[in-house]
Amino acid sequence: MDRLLSLGMQTSVPEIFSAEDFISNPGRFAGFEPPVRLAVIGDPVAHSRSPGFHNAALRFCGIRAQYGRLHVPTERFAEVLHTLPAAGFLGANVTIPHKAAALASVDEADAYARASGSVNTIVVNGEKLMGFNTDGPGLVRAIREEFSVDLRDLRVVLLGAGGGAGRAIAVQCAMERCERLVLVNRTFEKIHLLAEELAPFFQSERLSGPAERIVAVPFDDDALRRELENADILINATSLGMKRTDPPAISPALLTANLLVYDTVYAGGTSRLLEDAAAAGARCANGLGMLLHQGALSFEIWFNRAAPLEEMRRALHSGL
C-alpha cells in the first residue's frame, strides 16, 4: 500500500465521477490500481449496475482495468466523449439520455447503430471514437433465454418505439423479420415515419403485404386492446417503471395470460407493469437479461474475445 501511495496510485475508486472530474484531470484515471479504463456515461447514472458485472468480468479475465460511472449532463456530453482518448480509456457505455448524441459525436458507427439512431458502446481507437449499439442484439439473447423462443417468431407490440432504446429494438425486430411489429408511442408522428422506414423488411409471402406486418398505432387503450389480442409479446421500452411513483405503462385490464411481457426497465428488480402482468397470469421478465447480454456484447467488442457470461451473471445478481 505504501508503495502504491508513493507512486501516486489511488486504490479507492469513487462511486461516481463528475463531468468536471473527467474533463479537468483526465490523467487521474491512470492513477488508480488497476486504472479506470472504461465507464458508463449517463444522467442519471447512480442506478447503473454495469460496473458490478463488468468489473467482475475484467477480474475474471485478468485484464488490468476498472470500470466506473460518469455522471454527465447533456451540455457536457460531447466534451466528455472527446476526452476519452486523453484519459487513456479503452471505451465506454452510453445510457439515458445520451445515446442519440453519441451517434452524432463518434467518428465512425457501424450499420446497426446508424439504423437504430443511437450508440450505447464506444471503442477508443487511437484518437478516433467508434460507435456500436448492442441493445437490440442483447434483447434477442435475453428473450431467447427468458422465454425459450426467438424474437423472429413472435408478433411484437413495442411501447415507446420512438425513443432511443425503443427505436433500436424496433430496428432489431425488423432485421430479425419478426412475424409482426406494432409500434406504439406517445408522439405518433415519430413511429409513423419509423414504420415507413422499416416496411421493406416486412415484405414477404407470409402475409399479403408489409402494411399488415408492421403498423404504428397511437398510445391509447382502444388501439392497444385491438393489437394485444393478436400479439405474442409486449415489450416496454419506455422509462415508466424506473421510479416506483411512475404511473402504469398501460392499463392493467389490457394484460392477459396468453401474453409474454418483457419490461426493459430493471431498477428495483420489478416494475408496476410486471406486477400487473403477473397478476394477469402472463409470463414476464425484467430488463436484467437484456442488460447482461448487451453488456457481454460490449465486452466482446472492446476485447475481441468471448465474455465470461456466467461470471457476469453471478455478479449482476449478487448485487441485487
Tell me the pLDDT band of 246, cut-offs 50, 70 and 90: confident
Per-residue pLDDT tens over the stretch 26-45:
999 999 999 999 999 999 99
The full length of the chain comes to 320
DSSP element (H, E) containing 129: strand 128-132
pTM of structure: 0.90
For 98, the grid coordinates are: 445520451
99 part of the active site: yes
Q: In 3D, which of 166, 178, 158 has the Cα closest to residue 250?
A: 158
Average pLDDT over residues 145-165: 94
User: Which pLDDT score, from 0 to 100, does residue 12 have?
Assistant: 72
Q: In 3D, which of 228, 195, 225 has the Cα closest to residue 211?
A: 195
* Contacts with 139 (C-beta within 8 Å, 6 or more apart), sequence order: 151, 169, 172, 235, 262, 264, 290, 293, 294
Matching residue, cell 405518433:
188
7-11, 14-18, 56-60, 316-320: range with lowest mean pLDDT: 7-11
User: Which pLDDT score, from 0 to 100, does residue 243 have?
Assistant: 64
Catalytic residue among 99, 128, 190, 243: 99
Q: What percent of the chain has pLDDT above 90?
A: 82
User: Which pLDDT score, from 0 to 100, does residue 267 have?
Assistant: 66
User: Which pLDDT score, from 0 to 100, does residue 2 have?
Assistant: 36
d(CA 131, CA 104): 10
User: Which pLDDT score, from 0 to 100, does residue 320 have?
Assistant: 66
d(CA 320, CA 315): 9
Long-range contacts, stretch 310-316, CB < 8 angstroms, 24+ apart: 311/56, 311/57, 311/60, 312/53, 312/54, 312/56, 312/57, 313/53, 314/56, 315/52, 315/53, 315/55, 315/56, 315/57, 316/49, 316/52, 316/53, 316/288, 316/291, 316/292
Average pLDDT over residues 180-203: 93
Per-residue pLDDT tens over the stretch 124-140:
999 999 999 999 999 99
For 320, the grid coordinates are: 441485487
Question: Sign (positive/negative) of CA torsion 268, 272, 274, 280?
Answer: positive
For 37, the grid coordinates are: 479504463
Matching residue, cell 453488456:
295
Crossing angle of helices 288-303 and 135-147, in 10° steps, is 130
Tell me the pLDDT band of 310, cut-offs 50, 70 and 90: very high
- On whether the CB atoms of residues 92 and 40 are closer than 8 A, the answer is yes
Q: Is the pLDDT of residue 6 over 60?
A: no
Average pLDDT over residues 175-192: 94
User: Which pLDDT score, from 0 to 100, does residue 244 have?
Assistant: 64
d(CA 260, CA 255): 10
- On whether the CB atoms of residues 55 and 80 are closer than 8 A, the answer is no
User: Which residues are registered as beta bridge partners of 318?
Assistant: none
Domains, in order of start, for the chain = 2-133 (3.40.50.10860), 136-289 (3.40.50.720)
Q: Is the pLDDT of residue 207 over 60?
A: no
Describe the strand order of the beta sheet including 36-42 as a list of residue ranges: 17-18, 66-71, 36-42, 91-94, 121-125, 128-132, 108-109
Cβ neighbourhood burial of 128 (10 Å; 0-12, 13-18, 19+): exposed
